[in-house]
Structure 1
Amino acid sequence: MPYKKLLYGRIWVKMVDYRDWEILKVLYSQKNLTKAARLLFITQPALTNRLKHMQEELGVKIVTRESRGVHFTPQGEYLVQCADDILAQYNKIKEHVKNMNYNAGNEVVGTLKLGVSNFFANYELPYILKLFKSQYPHVEFKVITGWSKDVTKLIHNKDVHIGFIRGDYSCRGLKKHLLFEETVSVTSREAIDIVDLPNLPRIDYNGDYLLKSLIDNWWAENYSQPPFISIEVDQVDTCKEMVINGLGYGFLSSRILNDIGDLYKIVLTDQKGNPILRRTWMYYHKESLEWNVVKAFVNFIETLDTNASKKF
Structure 2
Amino acid sequence: MDNRDWLILKVIYDKKNITKAAEELYMSQPALTNRLKQIEKEFGVNIVTRGRRGVCFTPQGEYLYKCANEILLKIEKTKETLWNMDNEVVGTLKLGVSRFMMKHKLPALLKLFKTTYPKVEFKIITDWSSDIVTLLLNKDIHLGFVRGDFNWRGEKHLLFEENLCIVSKNKITIENLPNLPRIDYQTDHLLKALIDNWWADNFSNGAQVTMNVDQLDTCKEMVINDLGYGIMPSLVVNNLSDLHTINLIDKNGAPIIRKTWLFYEKEVLNLNVVNAFVDFIKNYDLQDV
How would you bin the TM-score normalised by the shorter chain? 0.7 to 0.9
Post-superposition offset of 1:216 = 0.8
Post-superposition offset of 1:71 = 8.8
Q: SS of the counterpart of 1:273?
A: coil
**For 1:1-312, what aligned pairs fall within 5 Å after superposition?**
15=1, 17-26=2-11, 39=25, 41=27, 44=30, 48=34, 52=38, 55=41, 60-63=43-46, 75-100=60-85, 103=86, 106-172=87-153, 174-307=154-287, 309=288, 312=289
Post-superposition offset of 1:92 = 1.1
Q: SS of the counterpart of 2:274?
A: helix
Cα distance in 1 between the residues matched to 2:127 and 2:215: 12
Post-superposition offset of 1:206 = 1.3
Post-superposition offset of 1:142 = 0.6
- Point out where structure 2 has 5 or more consecutive residues left out of the alignment: none
| Alpha-carbon distance change, 134 to 193 in structure 1, aligned in 2, over 3 angstroms | same
Cα distance in 1 between the residues matched to 2:263 and 2:254: 27
| Alpha-carbon distance change, 126 to 44 in structure 1, aligned in 2, over 3 angstroms | same
Post-superposition offset of 1:78 = 2.7
Tell me if structure 2 keeps the 8 A contact 1:30–1:36: yes
Identity fraction in percent: 53
- Equivalent residue pairs, number: 286
- Counterpart code for 1:110: G
- Point out where structure 1 has 5 or more consecutive residues left out of the alignment: 1-14
Tell me if structure 2 keeps the 8 A contact 1:156–1:171: no
Post-superposition offset of 1:23 = 3.4
| Alpha-carbon distance change, 138 to 181 in structure 1, aligned in 2, over 3 angstroms | same
- Counterpart code for 1:137: P
CA deviations over 1:44-68 (Å, ceiling 9, x no partner): 5797478658855xxx413389997
Tell me if structure 2 keeps the 8 A contact 1:62–1:72: no
List 4+ stretches of structure 1 deviating above 6 A: 29-38, 64-73
| Alpha-carbon distance change, 154 to 33 in structure 1, aligned in 2, over 3 angstroms | closer
Post-superposition offset of 1:30 = 7.5
Post-superposition offset of 1:75 = 4.6
* C-alpha RMSD of the superposition: 2.9
Q: SS of the counterpart of 1:298?
A: helix
Cα distance in 2 between the residues matched to 1:222 and 1:210: 19
- Counterpart code for 1:158: K
- Counterpart code for 1:113: K
Cα distance in 2 between the residues matched to 1:230 and 1:73: 47
Tell me if structure 2 keeps the 8 A contact 1:268–1:275: yes
Post-superposition offset of 1:123 = 0.9
Cα distance in 1 between the residues matched to 2:129 and 2:166: 22
CA deviations over 1:62-84 (Å, ceiling 9, x no partner): 33899979997755543232111
Q: Bigger shift: 77-86 or 246-255?
A: 77-86
Larger Rg: 1
Tell me if structure 1 keeps the 8 A contact 2:96–2:124: yes
Tell me if structure 2 keeps the 8 A contact 1:63–1:70: no
CA deviations over 1:103-131 (Å, ceiling 9, x no partner): 1xx42100000011111111111111111
Q: Please report the TM-score for the alignment, with normalisation by the length of structure 2.
A: 0.88
Q: SS of the counterpart of 2:84?
A: helix
